[in-house]
Amino acid sequence: MHLTFSHRETWLHRVNPTLKLAVSVLLFVAALFVHNPNVMALLAAASLLPLLATGHPPLRVLLYASPFLLVFISSASGMIMFGTGATLWFELGLIRITEESFYRGLHLGLRSLQVAAVGLAFALTTRPVALFYSLMQQLRMPSKYAYSFLAALNMVPLLADEFFTLRQALQIRGAGPGRKGIYGRLRMYALPLLAQSIRRAQRTAAAMEARRFRSGSGKRTYYYVYGWSRIDALYAVSIAALWLLAWLLGTHYPLLAATDVR
């Protein structure tokens, strides 16, 4: 959640959050059916493009996107070195790089890049509050789930505070690192934090019910109202156009030798 960082609101922020979520998930499913690395490369590029329209300064976007390089390498390398294939390029011990495995690995790296870019664009332009209000209004998500999730999110800073308090308390009592092993130390932190969280959740539920919070009893009104607008159409059409373009260019003007990595 990058809510604490200031940024401009762009048209991507004004797209209906439910639509944005649905499109982001659909793009992942669609990517599963792309087996042509030429198309995948263009799709990855097309998915990186919206990052420029997130309203965050380019340097910060670059910082957020820096793990993409790692994602690309981590997705590609295993398949490149240990994938199956007929045309051998290089062999060293267990490592066996073939033409097929190389292109398949490249394809995987590009696919991960595409998925990561879509996810980052979504995260950078959608506030959780907006998403859950929209899910309640557009998809009729029961309000007890939506408000509970938002309440749980608000507990994160409290949890962080408790963690630091706990650490200081443990340090004062001489329970520093190196004692009791990893599992012991994990329990030392996890148990009190979880127990406190559960108690707090119980108190919150009691407080909400005491204020007559009920799911599905009569018509709810919403502080933030989300509906559909022309921006939603623009968003859907532009994403579809980018994908169509990538598909056509990748199929008809391939740059790589491989056209199907299966």
Partner 1 sequence: MSTAMPNADRPKGLTLADILVTLVVAVVFGIIYRIWNPMYDILKPLGLHAEQLSYGMWFMAGTFAFLLIRKPGAALLAETAAAALEAFMGGSWGASTLVYGVLQGLGAEIIFAAFLYRKAGPIVTVLASLGSAFVSIFIDAHYSYIDKMTAWNYTLFVSMRLLGSVVIAGLFAWALAKALERTGVLSLIRPASAKDYEALG
Contact track, partner 1, 143-182, x by CB under 8 A = -xx--xx-xxx-xx--x-----------------------
DSSP 224: S
Q: How far is CA 216 from the centre of its chain?
A: 30
**Residue from 8, 180, 187, 220 binding partner 1 (CB under 8 A):** 187
Residue 81 or 175: which CB sits closer to partner 1?
81
- Cβ-contact 226, 138 below 8 angstroms: yes
Q: How far is the CB of 153 from partner 1 (least distance, A)?
A: 6
* 8 Å CB contact between 123 and 50: no
Q: Are 82 and 96 in contact (CB under 8 A)?
A: yes
> By CB under 8 A, what part of segment 46-65 binds partner 1?
64
**CB distance 44 to 34 below 8 Å:** no
Q: Which one among 5, 57, 62, 82 touches partner 1, defined by CB under 8 A?
A: 82
Dihedral of the alpha carbons of 97, 103, 104, 107, in degrees to the nearest 10: 140
Near partner 1 by CB under 8 A, which window of 20-28, 174-182, 239-247, 249-257?
20-28
Minimum separation from the CB atom of position 22 to partner 1 (A): 10
How many chain residues bind partner 1 (CB under 8 A)? 73
DSSP letter assigned to residue 55? S
For 225, the token pair is: 């109202």
Q: Which stretch binds partner 1 (CB under 8 A): 25-33, 37-45, 228-236, 238-246?
A: 25-33
Q: Supply φ then ψ for residue 254, to 5 degrees.
A: -70, 140
- Which residues have C-beta within 8 Å of that of residue 33, sequence separation ≥ 6? none
Contacts to partner 1 from residues 196-255, by CB under 8 A: 197-202, 204-206, 208-209, 213, 215
Binding residues among 102-131 for partner 1 as defined by CB under 8 A: 104, 108, 111-112, 115-120, 122-124, 126, 128
Cβ–Cβ < 8 Å for 87, 248: no
Number of Cβ atoms within 10 Å of the Cβ of 66:
9
Compare residues 49 and 248 and give the one whose CB is closer to partner 1.
Answer: 49
36 binds partner 1 (CB under 8 A): no
Residue placing its CB nearer to partner 1 in the complex, 168 or 215: 215
